[in-house]
Structure formats: C-alpha cells, structure tokens
C-alpha cells in the first residue's frame, strides 16, 4: 500500500479500520495517526483549551514532538468538529484584543465619558486576564543551612561552623588560620577585625 496521508484515504478504509482494527487495510503509520487523532479528540472534550489538550496529548504520546501534538489536536478538532466547534484560545485572545482596542480608542478621545468607559474596560481586562497566582515560598529557602570549613588536623577532619565563627576566641581563630594558611599567624587586632566584619 502506498504511503498516502490519512486524509487522502478512502472513507471506507478508515471505517474498516475502526470496525476491525486487527485486519486494518491502513498502514501501521496511518493506524497510529488515526489512534492519536481519536485520543486527541477525547482529550479535547475534557480540556477544550488547546495548550492544555496538547500537554495531555504529549503525556499520553511522549514519542511525538510538540509540533506534531499541535497538529494532532488541530486535526482532531477538524475531524470531530461536531463536538469541537468552540476554540477557547482564539476567543480568549480576541476578547483581550477587543478590550485593549476599546481602551486605546477611549484614551485617544479623552472625554469624561470615555474615561469612565476606560475604567470599566480595565476592570474587564483584569477579569479576562486573571490574577497572577501567588508564588509560594520555596521551602528549601526557608530551611536553615549550616556551612562548615573542613580542616584536616592530625589525619582527622574538623568541622568549623561559619555561622559561629564570630563567637570563637581570638586564639582559636589563630589556630584556624595556621591550619588554613600554613603557619602565618594573625594578630589579635586582625582577629577582632575578622570577628566584627
């Protein structure tokens, strides 16, 4: 059988596949496409917004690309247009553009009545766009983190807590300095300066 597009196939062949999928006259590629279109139409019934339908369609068929998923959803809405006649995305975009054009017209006129219309249209625009969802705080940012300097002393690792570094006495800071910089000592005034910084 030649590799014709599914749209170019005779209706009787597609009907035969639907009635008896095991003895289908369609090629395997055409069968997969038809099955994806039927699945996309079922998704569109529950999720009429195109972006959502494409997202669910890609979850069910991870092997297809984003463009192919959009093509499947578009073709499903064309094939099953008795149930998929309303394009929500198109309507929503049109509504927002219409409100914005009304605001621009009223702004160019600038009368008191037009300012009232602008205020009403701004309220309509907020309703049409919706409120931006509040970002929840990242729970990991709320956690307390402790940072340590790891110092090797006599083949043992010693943790030095950076959060409590300012509480250490100057003599201990000098010892830490010896470990880190290999013996160059710091004076007590330098230790005080480090603790206060």
Average pLDDT over residues 65-91: 77
- Of these ranges, 11-15, 116-120, 129-133, 140-144, the one predicted with the greatest mean pLDDT is 116-120
DSSP sequence for 98-136: HHHHHHHHHHHH--HHHHHHHHHHHHHHHHHH-PPPPPP
Angstrom distance (rounded) from CA 121 to CA 189: 67
Residue 117 CA to residue 88 CA, distance in Å, equals 26
Structure-token match 């049109």, residue found: 94
What confidence category does residue 26 fall into, taking pLDDT thresholds of 50, 70 and 90? confident
0.75 surpassed by pTM:
no
* Cβ-contact 22, 48 below 8 angstroms: no
User: pLDDT value at position 37?
Assistant: 84
- Residues 6+ away with beta carbon under 8 Å from 193: none
pLDDT tens digit sequence for 28-51: 888 888 888 888 888 888 888 888
Q: What is the pLDDT of residues 168-192, one digit of tens each?
A: 777 777 777 776 676 555 566 666 6
Whole-number Å distance between alpha carbons of 47 and 172: 66
The full set of domain ranges for the chain reads 6-79, 88-129, 148-196
């Amino acid at each position: 059988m030649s590799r014709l597009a599914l749209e170019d196939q005779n209706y009787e062949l597609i009907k035969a596949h639907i009635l008896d999928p095991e003895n289908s006259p369609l090629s395997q590629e055409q069968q997969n496409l038809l099955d994806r279109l039927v699945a996309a139409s079922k998704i569109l019934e529950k999720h009429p917004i195109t972006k959502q339908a494409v997202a669910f369609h890609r979850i069910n068929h991870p092997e297809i690309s984003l463009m192919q998923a959009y093509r499947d959803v578009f073709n499903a809405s064309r094939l099953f247009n008795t149930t998929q006649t309303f394009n929500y995305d198109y309507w929503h975009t049109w509504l927002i553009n219409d409100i914005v054009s009304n605001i621009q017209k009223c702004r160019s006129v600038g009368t008191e009545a037009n300012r009232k219309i602008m205020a009403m249209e701004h309220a309509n625009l907020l309703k049409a766009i919706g409120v931006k969802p509040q970002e929840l705080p990242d729970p990991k940012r709320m956690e307390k983190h402790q940072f340590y300097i790891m110092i090797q002393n006599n083949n043992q690792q010693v943790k030095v807590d950076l959060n409590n570094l300012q509480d250490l006495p100057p003599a201990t800071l000098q010892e830490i300095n010896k470990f880190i910089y290999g013996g160059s000592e710091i004076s007590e005034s330098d230790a005080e300066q480090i603790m206060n910084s």
